[in-house]
Structure 1
Amino acid sequence: MIENYRPNWMDEELDAVQDMTRRFVAEHITPKQEKWYEQGYTDREVWLKAGELGILAPDISAEYGGSGGHFGHEAVIGHELCVSGDSSWRTCKQIHVIAAHYIERYGTEQQKQRWLPGICSGELIAGMGMTEPDGGTDLQNMRTKAIRDGDNYRISGSKTFITNGSTADILILATKTDPSQKAKGVSLFIFETKTPGFSVSKRLKKIGLHGSDTAELFFDDCVVPADRLLGEVEGKGFYQMMQDLTYERALTGVNCAAVMEHALNVSAEYAHERKMFGGKLIDLQNTRFVLAEVKTQATIARVFVDFTVEQMIKGNMTSDLASMSKWWMSDTHSEVINRCLQLFGGHGYILEYPIARMYVDARIESIYAGANEVLKDLIGRNI
């Protein structure tokens, strides 16, 4: 997109990760898109293969089964998945690695040793159980309860819009251990989905991201050992979620910038091939204007996102910067895809064309990881 452009944070090791990921995607992701799109979830074999190659949890410490890398490794992998047109596994993987970070950052040594190796190898699929039917971004007012009962907790409630919900082996589950409190009453658990009383209502039918697994979950008096409490300390869950949302928002920005690049590529290719008015679509000045503007937006996005990756690697990322990246990238990428789709005319409305799938997939980006309106308010409060 930018000739001879190489981000400052890239190095030879990351070049190798990029090449390996590109080959992995070509062999194991792209050929499966239609199958996953129809069945509504990804097959477990892709998780195991990614774990075998070390690209499933690249920035988890090697002592716990990860590759011992940093955020740049995850950014490279996310970028390659998005520019390939993957609309299935990339979202599932993002949630999986976020769950791993919760355990590594806040878990006890015993919890890390017990759960992280399986997450990194792909033997365990992880999800995040945060959102509830009566509230999404308003996490401190959740209703799912975890009541202490001797050496156990009894968990009851429900969650919805949960990525990996019907395929996950474990969840980082947000609960209220003290219903009388708001933020201070929230606690997180490492929850095994084989626990009696747990059930998956159904896979939800979404307007986009059809190949990723999203489900509604129910917890009916599930008995969970007290050592599943993340960090084994009550009341820290809301703080933990707010801290780790910075990671999720930064990664969302990376993905949105990469999807913009993919939208530009497929649109430019179509414009050079599509015959119109005795010539080709690219011969029309309006087409060139649109593609020029889209290329400029995508280039700005890439430079911005490379700055955020650099800050993440250096440990200088702030909540404000992650929030700015997430809201601007997601809004801009929706605008870019909308303008690109217009160039396709009626073909852009047909799901056989990648731009159509990008269009419906894009809508969720401004909603999850914190609705953009909330992020703007958070940024504004610090001005």
Structure 2
Amino acid sequence: MTTLSTGSVRTPIPVNTVDRVAFRDMCKAFAEKEIGTRWKEADAEKRFPRAFYVAAASAGLIGITASEDIGGAGLGSYEEAIAMEEMSRVNPNLAVSVLVQNVAGSILHEHGNAEHREIARRNIAGDCLVAITITEPEAGNDIQNVRTRATRDGDEWVLDGMKSFITLGGDADVLVTLAQTDPAQGRNGMRFFAVDRRSPGIEVSQIDTYVNRPAPTFRVTFNQVRVPESRRLDAGFAAIMAGFNRERIMVAARWLGHMQTALEWARDYAGTRRQFGRPIGANQSIAFSLAQCHVDVEAARQLTYHAAARWDSGVPLRDVILDVSAAKLHSTQAVVRVTQAALHVGGGWGLTTELPVMRWALDALVAPVTVGSVEIQLRAIAREMGLPVE
């Protein structure tokens, strides 16, 4: 199986390489067993359970799109989306840890040398947790403004700078880190480095958040961190853009799974919770709200899997941006609407820990701002429509 490139010509994924019904059933069973038993404790402790990563690797869910010669499944983004959806139906935060592995790992095995591919192989085998280290305090959506510097010193590079909002940044063994190697070249002067997280000069501190608590978020500071030249990847801005677009499909699938769970719970609760002598679902205000949620969920499903199929078809990256941005935009906005509707159905009890819906609503709030804000997606869609937006 050849891997996808970041250029104008991309290699298509063979169609029907796996029984997708059986694959979905496997992912569902895995999620119920491995996430259902862990996420509440991990959420309360704000700590990532490494045993979950090992279990995901054993199940073949790490490196889904990686080539078989390094232990990957050699499948496509469509199967990756199925896995993300089913895991997120149980908990979107442990699911995102798998997303991070697959995005960071793909940079290593698609753009790296033999040393990077060995890291990817170990990652797929469950022996090397990785994190992708791009976002900075002044460079969130503005990736071209990355300030972390990598300065050449003989056979080594010296990294200085700070990264923020790094999922698993304090848990990972290797940080796939973006730095400026030639500031005069602007976005063309960026490269990734595979940095050992325990290298001298690296400091990590956890950011206390209301969301993503089973997969914690960190600040990562690089202070004169020395990295061998062999750990520099031949990947820069083009790889970032390709990675972001593929990741947005996974993000759409993540929140598709989450909103499905919230809607199913709200539907069942509205059918059994009685007020004034009848189920609250008999009231048009509740019933119509949940009917609209159903439309949101099904639209997210169609947009997400259409984008995944287009990605796997091998069309040039520029020709799939509209599909990817539409899926990401709708799913990340819809999950907020659906979880808020479910919270409303829960009434006063929805604000307590006796019902799960407040946790779902809180988790959904991060959706619109990850991997490109709402405004970034709207701009991409408008430009693909031919509008002269700046």
What is the TM-score when the length of structure 2 is the normalising length? 0.90
Q: CA deviation at 1:377?
A: 1.4
Q: CA deviation at 1:11?
A: 7.8
Aligned to 1:270: 269
Distance of 2:293 and 2:246 partners within structure 1:
27
In the TM superposition, 1:246-265 aligns within 5 A as 246-265=245-264
Whether the 8 Å contact between 1:189 and 1:230 is mirrored in structure 2 is yes
Length, aligned pairs only: 368
Alpha-carbon displacement from aligned partner over 1:53-83 (angstroms, at most 9, x marks no partner): 2122222111011122211221111111122
**Aligned-partner SS, 2:208:** coil
Structure 1 residue corresponding to 2:174, chosen from 159, 170, 176? 170
Distance of 1:341 and 1:215 partners within structure 2:
29
Alpha-carbon displacement from aligned partner over 1:123-143 (angstroms, at most 9, x marks no partner): 111111001112211111111
Change (3 A) 1:87 1:351: farther
Q: CA deviation at 1:13?
A: 2.1
Structure 2 residue corresponding to 1:365, chosen from 367, 373, 376? 367
Alignment of 1:328 onto 2:333: no
Distance of 1:338 and 1:107 partners within structure 2:
43
Distance of 2:81 and 2:354 partners within structure 1:
28
Structure 2 residue corresponding to 1:341, chosen from 304, 319, 343? 343
Distance of 1:304 and 1:320 partners within structure 2:
11
In the TM superposition, 1:1-383 aligns within 5 A as 13-84=19-90, 86-112=91-117, 114-200=118-204, 202-231=205-234, 236-316=235-315, 318-382=320-384, 383=386
Distance of 1:250 and 1:139 partners within structure 2:
19
Alpha-carbon displacement from aligned partner over 1:77-126 (angstroms, at most 9, x marks no partner): 11111222x133111111111001111221124421x2111110121111
Whether the 8 Å contact between 1:71 and 1:309 is mirrored in structure 2 is yes
Q: CA deviation at 1:343?
A: 1.3
Q: Which moved more, 1:75-84 or 1:305-314?
A: 305-314
Whether the 8 Å contact between 2:304 and 2:328 is mirrored in structure 1 is no
Q: Which moved more, 1:169-178 or 1:269-278?
A: 269-278
**Aligned-partner SS, 1:182:** helix
Whether the 8 Å contact between 1:92 and 1:213 is mirrored in structure 2 is no
Whether the 8 Å contact between 1:99 and 1:126 is mirrored in structure 2 is yes
Change (3 A) 1:287 1:10: farther
Q: CA deviation at 1:177?
A: 0.8
Distance of 2:353 and 2:92 partners within structure 1:
13
Q: CA deviation at 1:381?
A: 2.5
Whether the 8 Å contact between 1:249 and 1:369 is mirrored in structure 2 is yes
Q: CA deviation at 1:258?
A: 2.0
Q: CA deviation at 1:51?
A: 1.1
Alpha-carbon displacement from aligned partner over 1:216-251 (angstroms, at most 9, x marks no partner): 1111101100011112xxxx5122101211101111
**Aligned-partner SS, 2:183:** coil
Q: CA deviation at 1:12?
A: 6.0
Distance of 1:378 and 1:196 partners within structure 2:
40
**Aligned-partner SS, 2:257:** helix
Aligned to 1:4: none
Q: What percentage of residue pairs aligned between the two structures are identical?
A: 25
Distance of 2:136 and 2:353 partners within structure 1:
30
Distance of 1:181 and 1:215 partners within structure 2:
29
